[in-house]
Amino acid sequence: MPVLPDGDPGTDHERTGAGGTADEGTADEGTGVVTVGSTSAPSPTHSYRAGPPTWQTAPVGQHPNGMDDDRDASRDVPGDPTRDAPGSPSSDPGRGFDAATYGRSFADVYDDWYPDDDATAAAVGHIVALAGPGATVLELGVGTGRLALPLAAAGLVVVGLDSSPEMLARLRAKDPGRTVQVVDGDVADPARWPVGPVDVVVAACNLICNLADAAAQERCVHTAALRLRPGGRLVVEAFVPAPLQRGRHLEVSEVRGDAVIMIATDADPGTGVVTAQHMEFRDGEPVRLRPWRIRVTRPEEVDAWAAAAGLVLESRHADWSGTPFDPQGSSQVSVYVRPAP
């Protein structure tokens, strides 16, 4: 295990950050029935790209975290007069969130919402081609191993770092042969990173946004540059955010005879932080809350951090399949290289 750090990788540690999103519905003018395009509700019959990561595939013009730019103010959550009162219960929207929040919220549905589909296969193919035979890959926020397991099966040495015991438990259950080396750690903490050097660092599926403050995001890019061997690459897959609309909003994601799914968001355009709750109300069941928290970041901001860390932007596409990048679009897959001396 040459790329792993000394010490117990499973040691508990400080935690920060989370992530999630919502999805927009459509109205049938004939029947007056409102149907929601994709849903945040778990169901084995759906191929979800909704819930936590709808931003990944959000259509152009729809805000990838479920907040469209021209939203109707009547859908906003009524104001809370205590909101800005110092010390009031609602004055700190980050209260109760940490680096393991995302995994606690979504581990039970993650593999249903993110199946092994064409997009996953394209991501794996892209990374395998970038890395080359037998290369070492570090995946940040490895999750349940959606990418890491097929990467290891393709012959790469794969190390996964993740702050969620729930997500890592699912990865381990799917990997009895331990083909992926796992480190329990917060990406925002460089001390938890494997020592490297590695050939490719992967930050897929909006991992960079899961780090819910700019300093942590910048530190992540900087640490990646330090862990790459010369000629190595950092790959960032993330949504490209539209301007945030300040304040609290409520999105009704799905209405059924026995359930309603809603997503409440609280956005701060000043910091780029979106704090949210994915809420599931099912008849006869306790309310299920799935909290998430992200900081949106645009490609130019990541480019600047990468350049400061000595990385050079090598390519940028809209997806893993090589679709040309559209600055007005909603997604990016960017590859940065650490130049060889």
Ligand X SMILES: C[S@@+](CC[C@H](N)C(=O)[O-])C[C@H]1O[C@@H](n2cnc3c(N)ncnc32)[C@H](O)[C@@H]1O
Report, in Å, the least distance between residue 114 CB and ligand X.
5
One-letter amino acid of 71:
R
Q: If binding is defined by CB under 6 A, does position 20 make contact with ligand X?
A: no
Nearer to ligand X, 248 or 263 (CB): 263
Q: Which stretch binds ligand X (CB under 6 A): 36-44, 137-145, 282-290, 321-329?
A: 137-145
* 141 binds ligand X per the rule CB under 6 A: yes
Between the alpha carbon of residue 19 and those of residues 16, 34, 233, 238, the distances in Å are: 11, 27, 24, 12
CA-based max dimension of the chain: 65
Does residue number 128 form part of the binding site for ligand X (CB under 6 A)? Answer: no
Smallest separation (angstroms) from ligand X to the CB of 32: 36
Q: Provide the mask over 189-208, with x wherever binding to ligand X is found by CB under 6 A and - wherever it is not.
A: ---------------xxxx-
Residue 337, strand partner residues: 233, 312
Tell which one of 40, 164, 217, 275 touches ligand X (CB under 6 A).
164
Among residues 106 and 248, whose Cβ is nearest to ligand X? Answer: 106
Determine the size of the site formed for ligand X (CB under 6 A). 28
On the 0-12 / 13-18 / 19+ scale of CB atoms within 10 A, 274 is buried
Please report whether residue 51 would count as binding ligand X according to CB under 6 A: no
Among 67, 130, 147, 242, binds ligand X (CB under 6 A): 147
Residue 126 as a binder of ligand X (CB under 6 A): the answer is: no
E-strand ranges in 114-272 read 136-140, 157-162, 180-184, 198-203, 228-239, 247-255, 259-268
Whole-angstrom Cα Rg for the chain: 20
List of E strands, 18-101:
25-27, 34-36
Residue selected from 38, 65, 136, 163 as contacting ligand X according to rule CB under 6 A: 163
Specify the DSSP element, H or E, that contains 291.
strand 288-295
188 binds ligand X (CB under 6 A): yes
Q: Considering the rule CB under 6 A, would residue 99 count as an interface residue with ligand X?
A: yes
The first and second tokens of residue 104, run together, are 């606690």
Q: What angle do CA 44, 294, 60 make, to 5 degrees?
A: 70
**Helix and strand element counts for the chain (H, E):** 8, 13
**Tokens representing residue 132 in the block:** 């080359």
Residue 287 contacts residue 281 (beta carbons within 8 Å): yes
Q: Choose, by CB under 6 A, the member of 48, 97, 113, 114 that binds ligand X.
A: 114
Nearer to ligand X, 167 or 180 (CB): 167
Give me the residues that bind ligand X (CB under 6 A), please. 16-17, 52-53, 99, 102-103, 114, 139, 141-143, 146-147, 161-164, 167, 186-188, 204-207, 210-211
